[in-house]
Structure 1
Amino acid sequence: MVEIKSQSDKIKLIVAKIRKFIELGAVVGILIDPDEKTVTIYRSTGEPTVLENGDILTIPELFPGWELPLTELWPPIFTEEETQI
């Protein structure tokens, strides 16, 4: 399961929801936080894994060999020079 935090969401409520899905049998829970530019991966065992901008997201349990640089999740940032073109 994947949850993307909006500006009005409360992290504690999202984490509780993800933990409930894990408890009910979801293999992986992913929390994408665009405000902090982090991705947290929850599994039934162990502590959550927090990835930061520049890290690469992998989920070998579901997608062996698949990789996604976190920088591709965030909208592009244009410089003032680029917006004047």
Structure 2
Amino acid sequence: MNALTVNLKPVLELTDEQFFKLCQANQDLKFERTATGELIIMPPTGGETGNRNGRLTQQLMNWTDTDGTGIAFDSSTCFKLPNGADRSPDAAWIKLERWNTLTEEEKEKFPPICPDFVIELLSPSDSLKATQEKMKEYLDNGVSLGFLINRKSRQVEIYRQGKEVEVLESPATLSGEDVLNGFVLQLEKIW
């Protein structure tokens, strides 16, 4: 099953509050919204992808707890990006000083902030092209470092501000570089 995109503009334009309420009223569904207001209904992941995504998040959360310079998020977190899109990366991290600039209400809803770091794990139902476009959208909105992991081809695309995308073949680890200083993502259990 692939993601379904619905253009509501001819009929209505959802406010941020209405979009939030729609998501809360339909918690069995996962929604994203493009910068142009199209509603994207994401299919649930299968068991293998869910397990691998959990392992990604686990590693990021463990490092975050030890490091203490930021806050990590799982795939159920939706961020309001500066371009107006509402996106849910599979894993994300934000510097604590940036997170702390948000109000409590902003933190409770869909935080109006772009993460510093994101991971997207390509699932069998994801389009590689659409996910690559999503990674570029993250960069355009302020992400400093992003990993697009394609388990099927055992490739990782690394997205960095101001640089060309780097493609790695079957890496054993990925470095958080200077964005997540000291973070190393072990890929053995992700492949």
Task: Specify the TM-score bucket, using the shorter chain as the normaliser.
Answer: 0.7 to 0.9
Aligned match of 2:156: 39
Which structure has more helix as a fraction of its residues?
Answer: 2
Structure 1 unmatched ranges of 5 or more: 75-85
Larger Rg: 2
Give the TM-score of the pair, scaled to structure 1: 0.73
Select the residue among 11, 15, 21 that pairs with 2:128: 11
Counterpart residue identity of residue 53, structure 1: S
- Deviation, 1:11, is 0.7
Match of 2:147 in 1: 30
Sequence identity (%): 31
d(CA) in 2 for partners of 1:48, 1:21: 13
> Which runs of 5 or more structure 2 residues have no equivalent in the other structure?
1-117
TM-score normalised by length of structure 2 = 0.36
Runs of 4+ in 1 over 6 A off after TM superposition: none
The count of residues paired between Structure 1 and Structure 2 equals 74
Paired amino acid for 1:26? V
User: What's the RMSD between the two structures over aligned residues?
Assistant: 1.6
Query: Of the two structures, which has the highest relative contact order with CA contacts closer than 8 Å and spacing of 6 or more?
Result: 1
2:5 corresponds to? none
